[in-house]
A and B are shown apart, each in its own frame.
Chain A
Amino acid sequence: ETGVTQTPRHLVMGMTNKKSLKCEQHLGHNAMYWYKQSAKKPLELMFVYSLEERVENNSVPSRFSPECPNSSHLFLHLHTLQPEDSALYLCASSQDLGSPEPQHFGDGTRLSIL
C-alpha cells in the first residue's frame, strides 16, 4: 500500500483532447507535488502545493493546469498536449514543506500523446 494513489495508470490521448490525472494521498500530508519522468532524464518537478496553495510552478507550459481542492487530492488537467509530453507523470506527497523529508510517490500515470 503506497499511500499515494494515481489514476488512471495509463492514458492515451490525441493532441486535441482534454483529460485529467488524479492523485489521492491517504497519509495526512500537507504538501503535494507533480513530477514528469521522461526516458533517460531526471525527474522534473512541475508543481508544488502546500495546504492547497500553489507554491511553485516550474516554468511548466499552460497546457498543464494543476488543481488542489484539498490537501488529500491533486489533479493535473491536460489540454492540447504535444507528442513530447508523453511521459510518466508522478504525484508525491510529504508531511510539510518546512524541513527536508522523504516524499512519498504514487505509481504514476503513463501518458501517451498520439
Chain B
Amino acid sequence: GESVGLHLPTLSVQEGDNSIINCAYSNSASDYFIWYKQESGKGPQFIIDIRSNMDKRQGQRVTVLLNKTVKHLSLQIAATQPGDSAVYFCALSGGYNKLIFGAGTRLAVHP
C-alpha cells in the first residue's frame, strides 16, 4: 500500500531564509500531490498542488518540486516569515480523491 514519509519532524529556520520541507512516497502510481499548512487550532489549509505530468510548480513564495524517479516531493518557501510557522503536510492521491497524508513537519521560524 501507499505510505508517505517525512524526512524531518521539525525544521527551524531564521526569518528571511528559505525553507525546504521534504516528503518521500512509495507508490509510483500516484498522480497527484498536495501540500497543506496547519496552524495551531486550525484545520489544514491548502498551499499548492502538482500533478505527476509536471516536476515543478510555483505559487506565491512557494515552490513544489516533484522527482518521480526517486519518489520525492519537496516544498520550498522563500523568505520565510514568522507567519509561516506551522505544521506542513504532504499528501498524495490514493484513488479517486482519496488523499494519503504524511505525518507532518513542524516549521519554526526564529527572528
A108 touches B43 (CB 8 A): yes
Additional pairs, 18, CB under 8 Å, beyond known A43-B101, A48-B98, A105-B36: A6-B43, A31-B97, A41-B103, A42-B4, A42-B103, A42-B104, A43-B44, A43-B91, A94-B97, A97-B97, A99-B97, A100-B51, A100-B93, A102-B49, A103-B99, A105-B43, A107-B41, A108-B42
28 contacts between A and B (CB under 8 A): A2-B43, A4-B43, A6-B43, A31-B97, A40-B103, A41-B103, A42-B100, A42-B103, A42-B104, A43-B89, A55-B96, A94-B97, A96-B97, A98-B97, A99-B97, A100-B96, A101-B49, A102-B34, A103-B46, A103-B97, A105-B36, A105-B43, A105-B44, A105-B45, A107-B41, A107-B42, A108-B42, A108-B43
Interface centre among A96, A102, A104, A107 (most CB of B within 10 A): A102
The answer, yes or no, to whether A90 is at the interface (CB within 8 Å) is: yes
List the interface of chain B (C-beta within 8 A of A).
4, 31-32, 34, 36, 41-46, 49, 51, 89, 91, 93, 96-104
List the interface of chain A (C-beta within 8 A of B).
2, 4, 6, 31, 40-43, 45, 48, 55-56, 90, 92, 94, 96-108
Q: Closest residue of chain A to B94, judged by CB?
A: A45
A101 touches B97 (CB 8 A): yes
B43 touches A106 (CB 8 A): yes
- Give every chain B residue within 8 A of A106 (Cβ-Cβ): 43
Q: Which 3 A-B pairs have the closest CB atoms?
A: A100-B32, A105-B43, A43-B101
Cα A31 to Cα B96 in complex, Å, equals: 11
Q: Closest residue of chain A to B102, judged by CB?
A: A42
Q: Closest residue of chain B to A31, judged by CB?
A: B97
Cα A40 to Cα B36 in complex, Å, equals: 16
A97 touches B41 (CB 8 A): no
Q: Closest CB of chain B to A2's CB: distance in Å?
A: 7
B34 touches A42 (CB 8 A): no
Q: Closest CB of chain A to B36's CB: distance in Å?
A: 8
